[in-house]
Amino acid sequence: THQRRTIYESLKVKDTKDGEIIASQLLEIAELVDTIQKYQEE
């Protein structure tokens, strides 16, 4: 979670619309990866 937040903040520092869109997409991808890893661990 901390790493994900760092990625989001570092992109948001650019403070551009594109940067925020990219950041939100990375957040969604990161959450998908987390979900996949949880299923694999079970």
In angstroms, the CA 12 to CA 33 distance is 21
In contact, 23 and 10? CB cutoff 8 Å: no
pLDDT exceeds cutoff 60 at 14: no
Q: What confidence score (pLDDT) does residue 40 get?
A: 87
Q: Provide mean pLDDT across the span 19-40.
A: 83
Contacts by 1-6, CB closer than 8 A, 24 or more apart: 4/30, 4/31
In contact, 9 and 26? CB cutoff 8 Å: no
pLDDT confidence band for 25 (50 / 70 / 90)? confident
Give residue 19's domain range. Answer: 2-41
As for how many domains the chain has, the answer is 1
Q: Provide mean pLDDT across the span 22-31.
A: 82
Quote the pTM value.
0.46
Q: What confidence score (pLDDT) does residue 4 get?
A: 66
